[in-house]
Structure 1
Amino acid sequence: MGINLPQPFIGRNDQIKQFLMHNFLLRASKYLLQPAFNSFNNALHQPDVEQERLKTKIIQRLTHTRYGQSLGITKDSPWSAIPVVSYDDFFSWLEQQQTSPKQSIITNEKIHYWQQTSGSSGAIKQIPYTHGLLTAFTSMFAVWAYDLLHHGPDFRTGKTYACVSPTLGDRPGGIDDTDYLTGPLRWLSGHFLVRVGNHFPDGDAFRWALALALLQNPDLEIISLWSPTFLTVQLTFMAQHRHALITALGDRLDDTRRKALEIDPIDWLKIWPKLKLISCWDQLFAGEQARALQTYFPGVFIQGKGLLATEAPITIPLIKAGGFVPLVNQIVLEFMTADGTIVDLCKVQTGQTYQLIISTLGGLYRYRLGDRLQVSHWYAKTPCLALVGRGDRVSDLVGEKLTEEFVAETLNNLGLVGNIGLCFLVPVPGTQPHYVLYLSSGAMMAIAGEESTLAQQLDNGLQRSFHYRRARQLAQLGPVQVMTDGYPPWLTQGRWGDEKSYCLRIPPSGTV
């Protein structure tokens, strides 16, 4: 005769089984990740050797491509035989490769897919993803994950929400952290992830689904996202809809967490009492947003993300390094000074700022990424690099990536450039990041009384950019404002009346 156990007891037994399984998988993960970490750690002690190894490998591969042959590259060619290029310089070669996918135009590796990222004037850049590039991303994740398991908080469940930017309406969605993974790590990560669908009619529908998923996981330990505002916006949504969420969840929400959700303000650590890590941007404008996030989760380890471009993984945070170290065994890094001199990784100087040039096993060679990095300090024999600016006049509060060219075109379409005086679009960080359009006196007189209409038109114009539109749909960015009364001091210093002034003005460091 069977024994009818009380339901709470059965639930507790299931929780114990799940805990033991996750604990076993965490130990297995650490074992699986350790070789990649050890290899990388050794590379940090001899970065010059690793960089030369990669250069030799890239030169050899180029000899088998039409691009390399057009440059006269042989296996004995010097690295300088490869020209430094921008995306526009290299576009025709990328286009040929897309048109003839089975030919070795820029790479002799199979291209698994093309990933999109923003280009100048809001256009889309297409970046090829090969096995070599995907291996670099997987290696980056392996090193980062092992470092956290070995040197970070005492993880017990490993339960993780890895942010994915959803598809809203009929637009393409983004990618989450696990889309960069290959092999066993991709399979293993699936056992720890909190999953949410990726196609929703609008931002509110996505936030509702995400709220339900997060609230059903009291053992959540890790939140990995990009912009900190993604999480603060989600928490605000959950606070505003708490009663509807409580009703929808029913007995899937235990009494303790239900009561915590009903109290105002919500103590979020009572909602996720096991939360140990939030991984997010914390450089440039995101620094203030990350600090604000810490007030929601006091005591939780908030770790800044390294520089991860669509083109390649660049840097990762290491706990013992106290900063961001470059992927010296996966990509070639070169640095351009203000006067155009190109410096190798091991010859950079502490405190100096450089524009980044990368070469990858994915088909990009001496490619000007444009981001500006500063050497903060050294770890082992490798410089640690902090992001201090996006390249070529790009503003990026929460991932919207507005370029100078695109902003100028948008303002020109509204008749605001060259006709009624100067105007500048300025990013404003804070708990609700947004943009402000500052107008000169001539422009203010011309649009008097029409400020709100102009602001709406400008916001609509900027939403032609996919990344800006998505940030607005997800409420990570507030609407554009038009300022007709007063200007920041830094904006008025020698700029008004200068015909070469930029339409996109990014505040100097320390002014916001």
Structure 2
Amino acid sequence: MATTNEVEDGLKMIEELTTNAEQIQEQVLGQILKRNAGTEYLGRYLNSKTDKKLFKTNVPVVTYEDIKPYINRIANGETSNILLVEPVIEFYRSSGTSGGQPKWIPATADVSNLRTLFLTLLASVMNKNFGNLHQAGKRLEFMFTKQDTETPSGLKAVSATTSLYKDQGFRNNVSKFYTSPLEAIFCSDTNQSMYCQLLVGLVQRDEVVSVSSIFASVVLRAIKLLEDHWREFCSNISSGQISDWITDSGCRNALSLIMKPDPQLADSIRNVCSSKSWEGIIKKLWPKTKFIAAISTGVMSQYVETLKFYGGGLPLVSGVYASSEAYCGINLEPLTEPSNVSYTFLPNMAYFEFLPINKESLTMYQVDTEPVDLVHVELGQYYELLVTSYAGLYRYKVGDVLKVTGFHNSTPQFQFVERQNVILSVHTDKTTEEDLLKAVKEAKILLEPLGYISRGHTSYADTSSIPGHYVIFWELKEKEGNDGQVLDPKIMTECCYRMEESLGYIYGSNRKQNAIASLEIRVVKQGSFDALMDYYVSRGTSMTQYKTPSCINSQEAFNILDSNVIAKFFSPKTPM
């Protein structure tokens, strides 16, 4: 439990770090080079020297594919100093949702210590804004793990979140701070795990002070589960017995210690859930909840509207910007609207560099200049993030595009813009993740007066015919809960046109020349995006780290959505 002094110490440290960012960045790079300059990888470029200028001049900017052979050698058991001197204790397995196979990122004891410090500083910021949550109650946080895979050398490959949940400090405190039993978190069946975590959260509804998961999509997945099975939850609570289909012995044993017959509680939950509209359901079911904590920026911004609908005015908190490669930044103003969230980088977490990006109306492209240091980025400019870490990554392209929105002391604050890739292209057009989000947002404006909210969207470049065209898969729900929706063709085709209008000059020019055919919206039935999540989880993605792909590249994933299409609509005219 964080004391007042610990909170004050954490806030003081943030001030010191952000005030002395340049000096601390120099120290971080110096420590990394002093330790690892003699390794096989860096030795090729530095000859065991630790000079920053030599590092900037000689060490190349790389992607995962460039260093994958070195990582594979470590995974296969080579003990020489290949990438780093400190022993690799495990690999973080990135989600791999959008681009295919997961990446293996080395993790060391230093990384574990940085994680602890990062989370401590985050807790200080949250306590400053919401009071001592540990004293106020417990968090209903949906947490999931994936089974470890083992490399030939015997090292474990785990998701970064699974590594956190396995940490002894977390395990010792989980029952104090969270409603979810450890056994449910580690249940290998994600459906049973989520059901049990939600059930305990309902049983302990008067203790819950926040509802959360890493990403917004998982919170909505839990609400969808509740929406489909609230009568079963009420039956469990009334009888004190868990449903027979929950077969995981750990879950059953843990819940047997918590559950007892409570018809009165079941009736109160039943009264809430039987309402015609589920607007504000989170606040109604968990009345002490102060906020919903889930990353709602970037691709997750598509869920903001729906989360607000279910949240009933609760703040949506996007607390951190982090990846499997590095812990980067904290949102120092957690009450900020998701669309305006900026993350203040912590200069002690890694050595950060930034490749300048030019942002035009068509797309983004890198400027032919050298990367700049953290404190030398410019306000309003776009950059791609490079990380040099304590765990063997040097000038590594994370693949994220960030925009400088301000400074806290001498440290820049960044807004996450998108992943650095073109997700849709069928001719000379280049549509990014940000472009797609903007287009869908424009179309949503037409549906809001009709009472529709979005459960998810993704895209697909259909080149099976000539000319090719964009396909937008979209799951919609009426606010009043009627799943048998009848969509107005006139409005839906106007949605198609509105999306096309927002896609810019090059796209419009290609449409006029018939190089791209009409944009198509394929509306899918309820639960389709849950099925998509299940597919990626079955392929090794941790549900906790799952992000809905902006574009579908997998044939199996495409088939899941396409088999659930209930209506198709096309843009009726060429955009202006």
1:210 paired with 2:190, answer no
Partner Cα separation in structure 2 for residue 479 and residue 442 of structure 1: 26
Partner Cα separation in structure 2 for residue 34 and residue 100 of structure 1: 44
Which residues in structure 2 correspond to 1:113-132 (within 5 Å)?
A: 113-117=90-94, 118=96, 121-132=99-110
Deviation at 1:202, TM superposition (A): 6.3
Q: Secondary structure at the match of 2:223?
A: helix
Which of 282, 285, 302 is matched with 2:316 structurally?
Answer: 302
Partner Cα separation in structure 2 for residue 427 and residue 62 of structure 1: 47
1:103 paired with 2:91, answer no
How has the CA–CA distance of structure 1 residues 26 and 177 changed in structure 2, closer, same or farther, with 3 Å as cutoff? farther
How has the CA–CA distance of structure 1 residues 229 and 465 changed in structure 2, closer, same or farther, with 3 Å as cutoff? closer
1:67 paired with 2:41, answer yes
1:192 paired with 2:177, answer yes
1:486 paired with 2:571, answer yes
Deviation at 1:333, TM superposition (A): 1.2
1:325 paired with 2:344, answer yes
Which of 364, 385, 388 is matched with 1:359 structurally?
Answer: 388
How has the CA–CA distance of structure 1 residues 256 and 317 changed in structure 2, closer, same or farther, with 3 Å as cutoff? same
- Please provide the CA RMSD for this pair: 4.3
Partner Cα separation in structure 1 for residue 158 and residue 236 of structure 2: 27
1:422 paired with 2:475, answer no
- What is the TM-score of this pair, normalised by structure 1? 0.72
How has the CA–CA distance of structure 1 residues 129 and 425 changed in structure 2, closer, same or farther, with 3 Å as cutoff? farther
Q: Secondary structure at the match of 2:561?
A: coil
The answer to whether the Cα contact below 8 Å between 2:159 and 2:542 also exists between their aligned partners in 1 is: no
Deviation at 1:62, TM superposition (A): 1.6
Deviation at 1:425, TM superposition (A): 4.9
Deviation at 1:465, TM superposition (A): 8.8
The answer to whether the Cα contact below 8 Å between 1:372 and 1:387 also exists between their aligned partners in 2 is: yes
Deviation at 1:51, TM superposition (A): 0.6
The answer to whether the Cα contact below 8 Å between 1:316 and 1:324 also exists between their aligned partners in 2 is: yes
2:70 aligns with 93
2:271 aligns with 259
Structure 1 unaligned segments of length 5 or more: list them.
1-24, 494-512
Deviation at 1:324, TM superposition (A): 1.2
Cα deviation, 1:148-178, whole Å, max 9, x if unaligned, reads 112334533341233324559x9x9966488
The answer to whether the Cα contact below 8 Å between 1:87 and 1:367 also exists between their aligned partners in 2 is: yes
Cα deviation, 1:80-120, whole Å, max 9, x if unaligned, reads 13221111111111112212353321111121211212288
The answer to whether the Cα contact below 8 Å between 2:146 and 2:541 also exists between their aligned partners in 1 is: no
1:162 aligns with 141
The answer to whether the Cα contact below 8 Å between 1:152 and 1:319 also exists between their aligned partners in 2 is: no
- What is the TM-score of this pair, normalised by structure 2? 0.65
Q: Secondary structure at the match of 1:311?
A: coil
1:15 aligns with none
Partner Cα separation in structure 1 for residue 172 and residue 40 of structure 2: 36
Which of 304, 328, 342 is matched with 1:290 structurally?
Answer: 304
1:281 aligns with 295
Deviation at 1:238, TM superposition (A): 1.3
The answer to whether the Cα contact below 8 Å between 1:138 and 1:181 also exists between their aligned partners in 2 is: no
Cα deviation, 1:368-412, whole Å, max 9, x if unaligned, reads 1110000011111111100011122355989x999x9xx78xx7x
Q: Secondary structure at the match of 1:60?
A: helix
Q: Secondary structure at the match of 1:328?
A: coil
The answer to whether the Cα contact below 8 Å between 2:230 and 2:270 also exists between their aligned partners in 1 is: no
Deviation at 1:261, TM superposition (A): 3.5
Number of residue pairs matched by the alignment: 437
Q: What letter matches 2:350 in structure 1?
A: I
Deviation at 1:141, TM superposition (A): 0.9
Q: Secondary structure at the match of 1:111?
A: coil
Deviation at 1:297, TM superposition (A): 2.2
1:501 aligns with none
Which of 198, 201, 222 is matched with 1:234 structurally?
Answer: 222
Partner Cα separation in structure 1 for residue 7 and residue 43 of structure 2: 38
Deviation at 1:268, TM superposition (A): 3.2
1:77 paired with 2:91, answer no
The answer to whether the Cα contact below 8 Å between 2:136 and 2:209 also exists between their aligned partners in 1 is: yes
Q: Secondary structure at the match of 2:136?
A: coil
Partner Cα separation in structure 1 for residue 292 and residue 317 of structure 2: 6
Deviation at 1:197, TM superposition (A): 4.0
Which of 129, 142, 149 is matched with 1:151 structurally?
Answer: 129
The answer to whether the Cα contact below 8 Å between 1:200 and 1:206 also exists between their aligned partners in 2 is: yes
Partner Cα separation in structure 2 for residue 467 and residue 193 of structure 1: 28
Structure 2 unaligned segments of length 5 or more: list them.
150-156, 239-260, 337-341, 358-366, 424-432, 438-453, 479-495, 501-510, 550-559
1:5 aligns with none
Deviation at 1:315, TM superposition (A): 1.5
Partner Cα separation in structure 2 for residue 451 and residue 293 of structure 1: 20
Partner Cα separation in structure 1 for residue 537 and residue 232 of structure 2: 34
Cα deviation, 1:213-247, whole Å, max 9, x if unaligned, reads 22112111122313323222322321332222111
1:41 paired with 2:55, answer no
How has the CA–CA distance of structure 1 residues 147 and 178 changed in structure 2, closer, same or farther, with 3 Å as cutoff? farther
The answer to whether the Cα contact below 8 Å between 1:36 and 1:143 also exists between their aligned partners in 2 is: yes
Deviation at 1:54, TM superposition (A): 0.6
- 364-373 or 112-121, which deviates more: 112-121
Moved over 6 A (4+): 429-432, 440-445, 464-471, 474-478
How has the CA–CA distance of structure 1 residues 273 and 228 changed in structure 2, closer, same or farther, with 3 Å as cutoff? same
The answer to whether the Cα contact below 8 Å between 2:469 and 2:517 also exists between their aligned partners in 1 is: no
How has the CA–CA distance of structure 1 residues 295 and 422 changed in structure 2, closer, same or farther, with 3 Å as cutoff? closer
The answer to whether the Cα contact below 8 Å between 2:354 and 2:372 also exists between their aligned partners in 1 is: yes
Cα deviation, 1:225-282, whole Å, max 9, x if unaligned, reads 1332322232232133222211111134625444334444354323211111221122
Partner Cα separation in structure 2 for residue 183 and residue 334 of structure 1: 33
Q: Secondary structure at the match of 1:226?
A: strand
Deviation at 1:61, TM superposition (A): 1.6
How has the CA–CA distance of structure 1 residues 427 and 377 changed in structure 2, closer, same or farther, with 3 Å as cutoff? farther
- 462-471 or 115-124, which deviates more: 462-471
Which residues in structure 2 correspond to 1:380-459 (within 5 Å)?
A: 380-393=409-422, 416=463, 420-426=466-472
2:368 aligns with 340
Partner Cα separation in structure 1 for residue 457 and residue 393 of structure 2: 21
Partner Cα separation in structure 2 for residue 468 and residue 442 of structure 1: 38
How has the CA–CA distance of structure 1 residues 120 and 247 changed in structure 2, closer, same or farther, with 3 Å as cutoff? closer
